Amino acid sequence: MMLFTGAVSGTQVSVVADFCYLYSSPSFEEVVEYEGSPLRIEHLDFLTVLEDDETTQFIKVKVEEKNIEGYVYRYYVTYSSPSQEVYPVFNGKVTKNDAVIYDLNRVDSTYRAKNGQGIYLYSGFTDKEKMNAVAIVLDDGSLYYGFMETKDIAPNGVNGGLITGIMVIVSCLTIIFLLLFMKKKKRH
């Protein structure tokens, strides 16, 4: 499936992801806000192309009905008619360069992923399994479903270990304060 073709400014693209965000620069760093919330563009919405040099992972677009410009991730839009295949929104990333991508039978597919590349974790993320189910965009723009080793990927957001650590610390502090409070109460 062809996702992009170096279009002339003014060409329209449609969103093939479940939804995507508009970014203020050609990176995932800062989401454009509209009326106090991140601007979310829905599946099959149309955007007007302002710039596309085909060398970056982002295309500069305009959301006509809101008159807002920004950047959208290249693999979330298509210049051709949208297909039935919907590209999921990334909720994780690859943490190792040249990471192996396995097929659905958990056999090496010969495809490799780059450090920092976005992935979609289908069954969520569990560090107790050797592999997690993923969807990843290959170099040719196609969406590939398979597995990746847990040690080579990470979910976006807050680390589960960090949350557990904070909860343990808060629990310990609560117990210490309760003991101190009870000790003071006994003296009175």
pLDDT tens-digit series, residues 178-187: 888 776 666 6
| 92-155 shares the fold of 12-78 | yes
Taking the domains of the chain in order of start, what are their residue ranges? Answer: 12-78, 92-155, 162-188
Give the residue with greater pLDDT, 95 vs 176. 95
With 0-12 / 13-18 / 19 or more C-beta atoms within 10 angstroms meaning exposed / middle / buried, residue 152 is buried
Q: What's the pTM?
A: 0.49
pLDDT tens-digit series, residues 14-45: 888 888 899 999 988 899 999 999 999 888 88
| Among the four given CATH numbers 1.25.40.10, 3.20.20.210, 3.30.420.40, 2.30.30.40, the one describing domain 12-78 | 2.30.30.40
pLDDT of residue 111 exceeding 80, the answer is yes
- Model pLDDT, residue 140: 77
The CATH architecture annotation of domain 92-155 reads: Roll (2.30)
Poorest-pLDDT segment among 24-28, 100-104, 120-124, 162-166:
162-166
The number of beta carbons lying within 10 Å of the beta carbon of residue 160 is 12
Those residues with Cβ within 8 angstroms of residue 81's Cβ, 6 or more apart along the chain or in another chain: 14
pLDDT tens-digit series, residues 71-105: 999 888 887 765 555 667 788 899 999 999 998 88
State the sign of the Cα–Cα–Cα–Cα dihedral 126, 129, 130, 132. Answer: negative
Give the residue with greater pLDDT, 152 vs 89. 152
